[in-house]
Copies of this chain bind each other. A is one copy, B any other.
């Protein structure tokens, strides 16, 4: 199993867990859990593969992805009540999933010879689209757009780290590690210490 496949697996499993947690908040049945888990787990990578015209889409080449996402849904269905705060569990699992998904997305774009701009976009798309689909379908405020938190910024900075590592001739494994580390570090800092960028504040219009 190559590194990129491993990253894709990790992203699918952890994003599937977050999808199932959202399903638990919406009190769905087990098939609803699996639906949201699979949508969240493979959504970002599917958009990436369709845009990059990779055929077949990664989970169609190897349906094990669907099996592990369903397994994650089953696990959460029977254990979600053990978490003291499902929302905190969701936030931290989502942070883990984001980190590996960004590394997978940037790595796959690099491995297909894309330029740096497309690498950055694919890192962000792979990282953010699964969670965005999950939140839009479940009608929650998208994490991507939450005020006063770093989210897309983490994905973008992680992708930049990956691109830098590759530009310095680092092996793909180091680039992926740097990417996931930077992404997770920034997101964790935002969740724990409130790290943020200045937001737009409307000022009164000029007279």
Contact = CB atoms under 8 A, between A and B. Distances in A.
A80 B203 CA distance: 9
11 contacts: A27-B200, A29-B196, A30-B197, A31-B150, A31-B152, A31-B197, A32-B144, A32-B145, A66-B117, A81-B203, A137-B144
B196 A63 contact: no
Question: What's the number of copies of this chain in the assembled complex?
Answer: 3
Given A28-B199, A141-B139, A81 B51 contact: no
A152 B199 contact: no
Interface stretch (A54-62, A163-171, A175-183): A54-62
Contacts of A144: 32, 35, 137
Contacts of A57: 51
Interface residues of A, number: 65
A201 B28 CA distance: 9
A60 B30 contact: no
A91 to B, nearest CB: 17
A62 to B, nearest CB: 9
Interface string A133-156: 000111101101101001011001
Interface in A107-139: 114-115, 117-118, 121, 124, 128, 132, 136-139
A69 B104 CA distance: 25
Contacts of A203: 81
Contacts of A52: 56, 60
